[in-house]
Amino acid sequence: SADWEASHRWFVGARAGYFTSNRTTANVVEEPLFVFGQPNIGLLDVPVPLQQVVGFQTDVSNDVSNVDRLSRVNAQIDATLFGRLAGQHTLKSALQLDRRSNDVNKGGSANRVLLQWNRQPVGGQRGTYGFYRVFSNPVAPKRGEIFLGSVSDTTIGLFVQDAWTVSDRLTIKLGLRAENETVPFYSSVGPSGNVPPIHFSMLDKLAPRAGAAWDVTGDGRWKVHGSWGVFYDIFKLAMPQLAFGGLQSGSYFFKLETYDWPHLLDSPGCPPACPGGQAREPTQINASFENIDPGLDPMRTQELTVGVEHQLTARLALTARFVHKQIDKAVEDIGSVDANGNGIYVIGNPGYGHATEACDGVPYPRAVRDYDAVELVARRLLERNWALPASYVWSRLHGNFSGLSQSDENGRTEPNIGIAFDAA
């Protein structure tokens, strides 16, 4: 960071930072992972050593992270002007730049095989012993589902704000922030080539803010203050990794004509040419711009704060504050199910645009996450070697959307890809 006092009225500042992190794994067994979706105990002539209960796996996981590097560069240059016009003004404006990049190659080190003993796939045929599903991908068929790609994007923000001291007792703050944002696409495969699928202009992300503080009695013992603002979230990369070309995934369904499951994938051409023959049509996940609501808006929240402070004595101060926060629009992958049981997803704002109807005409609600709180604080300032702060907060959080971290999904932390609005 650097600061420059250009004159007694002008102050210029600049700051920049860089952050990077990388996640890799080691000592992963790079072999197919067999999972028992159904048991085969006592089934036909399956030898006892090859019989297992439902949920059995040959290993905990065969996922590997070769590279998952996230880098971020942020910079800001701002200017502050002090002046007088119907009071005293502190006018500040800034240009902000945020560039992030992600290089990823992680996922299954080998295929994952789901064994469905004595079962028939939906819309397909079974073999003598049932069927099995091989998870793969179109880039490296001998691996399972993988995340692959390298992306970068730059967000530019502008803001201007004014702290207007109208008098010795009243200060008003007004501000406006705007930013443009392009959500990166991990793959050039798509109907529009390597064109980013989502872009928000500065007009799409205009964020006004306002606040005021009033000295009620003029002696500094009573203060009433309040603020209100609109805030926009920046797209996290978890959804682009999954939905915009990062995820390479597909699965094949084969008839299970042998009990010798440990050797199902021994053939060099498997997958896709695996023993038993095809049980039903394979599935493949393709990133497509068609799955993005053309009327998608950025994730937007509002916050309102009102408070009062009172200096009761020279050493005791009391504060009461009310806070309200709400989500106006969320961004999620909204899921429904087709006739074959396949999930169909639309990236949109729940309850708006293409994200207003689920399966069979059932309407999707808007995302609601309202937070209200009242905070009471008493502070006894330091005197005779002791001080004491005490506070009590009453709060209520309600709605149908737990937020970016999906706290109601057992600690899941992939933003914007929760299951709250999935019908599957």
**Which whole-number Å values give the CA distances from 413 to 328, 377, 410, 417, in the listed order?**
21, 33, 9, 9
- What pLDDT digit, counting tens, does each position of 60-108 carry? 999 999 999 999 999 999 999 999 999 999 999 999 999 999 999 999 9
| Adjacent-strand bridge partners of 424 | none
Token representation of residue 10: 């002008």
**Has residue 288 got a pLDDT over 60?**
no
> How confident is the model at residue 20, as a pLDDT?
98
> How confident is the model at residue 191, as a pLDDT?
43
Percent of the chain exceeding pLDDT 70 equals 92
> How confident is the model at residue 206, as a pLDDT?
97
- What pLDDT digit, counting tens, does each position of 1-41 carry? 999 999 999 999 999 999 999 999 988 889 999 999 999 99
The rounded distance, in Å, linking the Cα atoms of 183 and 416 is 13
Segment 199-218 mean pLDDT: 96
Burial 373-392 (b: 16+ CB within 10 A, else e): eebebebeeeeeeeeeeeee
The rounded distance, in Å, linking the Cα atoms of 6 and 16 is 20
The rounded distance, in Å, linking the Cα atoms of 286 and 185 is 12
Q: Which among 214-218, 342-346, 364-368 has the top mean pLDDT?
A: 214-218
- What pLDDT digit, counting tens, does each position of 155-195 carry? 999 999 999 999 999 999 999 999 999 988 887 554 445 55
The rounded distance, in Å, linking the Cα atoms of 196 and 217 is 56
What's this model's pTM, rounded to 2 decimal places?
Answer: 0.83
> How confident is the model at residue 412, as a pLDDT?
63
Judge whether 352 and 335 are in contact, CB under 8 Å. no
CA 187 to chain centre: 20
Q: What is the DSSP string of 185-225?
A: -S-S-STTTT--SEEE-TTTTEEEEEEEEEESSSSSSEEEE
Which band of pLDDT confidence, cut at 50, 70 and 90, is reported for residue 403?
A: confident
> How confident is the model at residue 343, as a pLDDT?
66
**Has residue 122 got a pLDDT over 70?**
yes
